[in-house]
Chain A
């Protein structure tokens, strides 16, 4: 027996020896992932880079994903782009369409702002903090604008165990957003230890960030003018007298994309989605209404039209029931005499603007080589010089500025149009007509400058063309009622907003202008206008305190306009 245990000992020792040959086999302390960094190595500048890019993604989406950003939803609702998802407002979007915009806002950008501040504040990196505040303010305002009440006070506390954050009223979030902007300006005026190493918006110029913050306050107080006109008036007046607003393109708050096509694709996301091989994305079919607004609203075409749109065909000869199913249909009975159906007429001599009518939820026909595409502004596509090339194929990647477009957020022209509206409706400082003209000229200049490397030859508008156009618009303004004047201002704002559907959607619900938007194409009554949007699918599925809406007719807090005010 003794002998047996002796041998046994040998085996046990041998076994244990093999098992524990190096503690890696039996180590139970390998919880740190080798595949990612430890949070303690966080870099304030790297966080800020992600925040800056996240803001652009929030507005214009990501490359190569189905997510198009907030702007596209606003453009569809305001006939800047065609709404093709359904025939009614109920189906203009699906809840799932908003998943990524919600994710980008909260778990990408805002969570990173929170994490950055935890490091940047003690380190006195006030400029970092201020930029974060401005971005947060813009995003929260926009979420309220699109969804109404959303989580804020209990948001971003997943690591404290709050998995079902309650929603806060839109008004309270707007208040908080204003406070962030005020604080941001304060922080920008402080002396910081170090400026951000990368500033993709203003290259480290704090004075421009201050202008952006002030202009954002202007936007905020114009937006709330229906619920608190006296406060809006006084704040806007103080902002005007402060003189620290974005008034010209040198101070424009915009994100500049590049031509870099891979690793990572840094081109304008709309460029990738429309000119990179698979043909135009059906989320970006041009709206007949908006093209008509530029082509035919006045007695000459808008000088920006060739920069905004690229026509692949010079006329509609390729149109038949196959390529354009409405071509054999009659104009719906509910359309007025001024509403165009199916085609954009060539009243001012420009033909071939091939788009889609509002809320026509038909399948997509094989029309890709005919439809009008994005031009050079703002996505960095081609300039329309009457060459009528088919740019829907895979070779389009080298068209125009090859994707080096911009995401316009707050431009000098926008400020002018906002001030024009404020002056007209609230009576704030300044002359609405002057702001209108300044806004138009500012926008036209910017657009033409943006495309000047591509725009050559006889199609480029001359200064006379521009002056004629401007005076034409001003004539209509001068001879109109207050409603007409507001319509002119907002129409011109809409034209200047190409690429930014957020302000268009807000302005339409705030002013009811332009009041001549194209009606729905399929049914006379497409249901109540989308006064706010469905909550995102994943959010309502996951958060028991966020209950999906019954429909899309609930206005947001600053929209006190009556039911049926917009259609």
Chain B
């Protein structure tokens, strides 16, 4: 097969060329496979020219050609055929399945299509079938488990919350480790515009939420650096290349096709199994407490409940009756209007308030796609609408996406193509905030949160029926001091919204200079405005009691220009050279502004006019709301591939970047790459046989750069216009040296990667791909936390080195193949990834670097020399010289306040198995994932168990005393007895000992299960439908974190620290959800 023609053919398909020449005649025919079935979409082109077409739905084609010319007919997975045009006007061909499969064409950097076999690096492709009609509207979460080496973590089960994506481990300490999204060839901002520290709440969405999974044609994941060099520094964390259906319009037939997808999914919260034996209280005594260490419900414990001051008698069913908690509310003005409740019996029994607090979520999705065209013009239009009502009441995501793409072949060898996408995403949710199990985790956290005081509601609290609103609107709850905001009040009166209008698109112009050289210019724009609001009515308990409303408008624009020369020439019979030379300019302009108001006037109205005081400062972060930044980057790049006889390919790449975020002396970096692909099965005829059908060996080296965010090289001066107002009303302003120390000598960080791999096909049934890589980052750009005694809080420095190495395996095995198209088939695909990121060097004098904002007194992720990236450090139980745990005079464990390593949050390995069964028109498929290891600091587990609402696997006998195993300060065995409450609450939960909240995260998960039925053509023949299929599917259907106490039903795939470099840190992130439903797809 001739590579050149294959490639050119694709170019032609893309730009639909048909040049009329005078002596031509129309040749037509049918392209079919061995079984005689038509092959739609096969390429037919005239050898040595830029003229070609593709077959329609019935495998038919028509092309104008001269007698004597050669038609080259190709189709992915089949051996390319060449047929000379003779006298006949009809040429029917039968394609043979290519024994050397995998000669597929993949989209690589800068949208360049390459045969997979010519690549010296790994590219994983996920097709639309695996993405569309899914229950999750977040494309990243849909990709979970589908690509080896890609690790995806949701912030929580809230619809629209942010998602963290890490490809091949971490390569940077404080720079982003998030991959670059490229949509239809243009960088797409996938950032999460976090407005405050994660402990103030992390409800912001990741901006790839703006992508409708149903509009995606294919996703290519470029994992290694040798694959991403052309994208420059932005590509150093891997690139997710998305081709939308609108952009792939070049592949369509001329017949107009309309397809419609309609889905309905339901979502259920996955909650702990609460224990039903004990209610609220402490030391077996009842109280309207926040802890659940009270008396038994069944009253077999010496009838502790009858001793309670609130006890008034017994119900007919034997349960104790208590006075309603409102009898004890200190501020009696709160219960005005609820006086009738005071005399009502309040039964002491377990209530299912938490279950009732969540609802069944619904997700409806509609997607309409229209494609069509003529000889010279093709188009695709897509409309998608998703409405996702989350499991948390008041949480909703609505997304409307419109896109239009097309291409046209102009006269004089010009082609033009473009794609325009518009998305409006409305997201609303109650605020979520990190919690350690008692209100907000951080004492300096700013507001309220919907999950913080819900999950561990004592069993005897009737969350559902206790009124949550006082007559004047204030929050009211069961506690006498009313010091906890009622979660229902939070739902109703606290909210965040984010409304995004996003436009992204590109326009490209290609000029074919001759049959081996073209030049293209592509301009891309990605711009969005994001309107954020945060508000809470007055009368709350958490956050500002006078009410708060904050609006922040964000505008982000990426301008991207590329000019690319693309040459493809056969140098000789055996040598082919492909060269790409390009220049790129990328400009990112970010701007935000807004207002914060406090002092609400009319209750319930969150508008700035309804507040007494306005401020330009975000009171949660203490920072000015307004923020502007611009970053420009220029790059030139080269990519040359020399192919010899279709079995050896040598690829050399290089790029030089200049960034505006560094001072002139340090702002330029050149980084090269090289790779070789060798196909022994093609080189040695006798190698290929029934056992080994295809083998490719590849080796690659790549490098990249990391540039810092803007404005870290120079010192700035803080100005607080209103820092104090004295008793006379005089406003005092102040200057302060910025706590961030500017570093004029900051350099880019450099990342290098060495990768070897193998792609193979065995027994004509098994595709097996293996990659091994070793990645090293030097001169890490690090936000180093400084001892404040230096005069500064942090600075950006280049210190240290991280080394990641790993292995990725993916395979695809036809276990049962059928010769008949409707026979029983069983395919088993899967992937395996193991990655170890090690911090190999930190600067002298630096013991560790915190990777996220710290919540004082809790565990966090750190970089420590010689240890895996992100190890969890925190306080531990004090141990004596013998290693024995030391117990204090009070019988409680003593805390060791020095930082100790508590765990490694990186999973040892992860794997997924994807079995697919096909029979007749049914397809049954699943995605089962396994995660080995990866420690988690879980305050969810700690709080639910320690507060006594969920039982340990080995439940604490609450009616017994305990002596903690350990020694006293003299080394003698501890003999101080403590109560079960002391054990659970004081030691495991409230003891400030982070070590006790560390769990191993090994998890097995049924991530996806789907059953699809497509209507056979025989039935469809007499209908207007071209195709009709029905799919039942579910996501996150079942999981088990084997080392967590079972009743917790804890989902390890969540992270409180949101998007960033934190992992395995859970501050009551909220429950995850199980989604399932039905989807119908029809085309006309």
- Residues of A near any B CB (own CB < 8 A): 4, 7-8, 11-12, 14-16, 18-19, 24-39, 41-43, 46-47, 49-50, 53, 64-67, 87-88, 90-91, 94-97, 99, 102-103, 105-108, 110-112, 114-115, 150-151, 155-159, 162-165, 198, 200, 256, 258-264, 266, 276-279, 312, 320-323, 325, 361, 363, 365-370, 390, 392-395, 397, 404, 522-527, 534, 536-546, 548
Contacts and interface: CB of A to CB of B under 8 A. Distances in A.
B739 to A, nearest CB: 5
B521 interface: yes
Contact of A276 (B545, B661, B894, B985): B545
A538 B787 contact: yes
A526 B889 contact: yes
A156 B791 contact: yes
A19 B586 CA distance: 9
25 contacts: A11-B563, A31-B661, A33-B716, A39-B717, A53-B732, A66-B442, A91-B888, A105-B788, A106-B788, A107-B788, A112-B735, A112-B737, A150-B789, A158-B741, A164-B787, A260-B725, A279-B483, A322-B308, A368-B330, A369-B481, A392-B330, A394-B541, A395-B331, A534-B897, A542-B785
A165 B856 contact: no
Nearest to A95: B897
Nearest to A101: B788
Contacts, number: 377
A541 B860 CA distance: 12
Interface in B251-287: 281-283, 285-287
Given A28-B664, A527-B889, 12 more contacts: A30-B630, A38-B716, A50-B720, A94-B875, A103-B788, A107-B792, A363-B291, A363-B986, A369-B330, A392-B331, A397-B545, A534-B897
Nearest to A56: B724
Secondary structure at the A interface, as helix, strand, loop or mixed, is: loop
A394 B474 contact: yes
A190 to B, nearest CB: 24
B789 A102 contact: yes
B632 A155 contact: no
Contacts of A110: 791
Contacts of B563: 11-12, 15-16, 19
A45 to B, nearest CB: 9
B898 A548 contact: yes
B856 A99 contact: yes
Q: Which one of B287, B613, B848, B888 has the greatest number of beta carbons of chain A within 10 Å? A: B888
Nearest to B328: A366
B792 A33 contact: no
B791 A541 contact: no
A365 B330 CA distance: 13
Contacts of B613: 262-263
Contacts of B661: 31
B444 A66 contact: yes
B482 A393 contact: yes
Nearest to B412: A7
Contact of B726 (A46, A87, A266): A266
Interface string B662-680: 1110010000000000000
B899 interface: yes
B711 A35 contact: yes
Given A26-B632, A38-B716, A200-B724, A369 B787 contact: no
A108 B511 contact: no
Contacts of B330: 312, 368-370, 390, 392-393
B787 A29 contact: no
B410 to A, nearest CB: 13
Nearest to A30: B660
Interface stretch (B33-41, B620-628, B910-918): B620-628
Nearest to A107: B788
Q: Which one of B514, B544, B627, B736 has the greatest number of beta carbons of chain A within 10 Å? A: B736
Contacts of A38: 716-717
Interface residues of B, number: 130
Q: Which one of B612, B710, B787, B895 has the greatest number of beta carbons of chain A within 10 Å? A: B787
B309 A47 contact: no
A538 B789 contact: no
Contacts of B631: 30
B185 to A, nearest CB: 16
A163 B784 contact: yes
Nearest to B281: A322
Nearest to B730: A198
A541 B786 CA distance: 9
A542 B786 contact: yes
Given A4-B514, A46-B734, A367-B481, A258 B727 contact: yes
Contact of B890 (A18, A34, A87, A544): A87
Contacts of B281: 322
Given A103-B793, A363-B990, A523-B888, A278 B287 contact: no
A254 B481 CA distance: 34
B789 A106 contact: yes
A88 B632 contact: no
B521 A522 contact: no
A31 B308 CA distance: 67
Given A46-B734, A49-B724, A392-B331, A28 B660 contact: yes
A148 B114 CA distance: 68
Contact of B725 (A30, A39, A155, A258): A258
Given A542-B785, A543-B787, A39 B715 contact: yes
A153 B788 CA distance: 14
B746 to A, nearest CB: 10
A27 B634 CA distance: 9
B356 interface: no
Given A106-B789, A369-B331, A14 B723 contact: no
Contact of A363 (B282, B714, B737): B282
Contact of B634 (A26, A102, A258, A322): A26
Contacts of B345: none
A366 to B, nearest CB: 4
B353 interface: no
A142 B327 CA distance: 48
Q: Which one of A41, A164, A395, A541 has the greatest number of beta carbons of chain B within 10 Å? A: A541
Given A19-B585, A64-B619, A277 B541 contact: yes
A111 B715 CA distance: 13
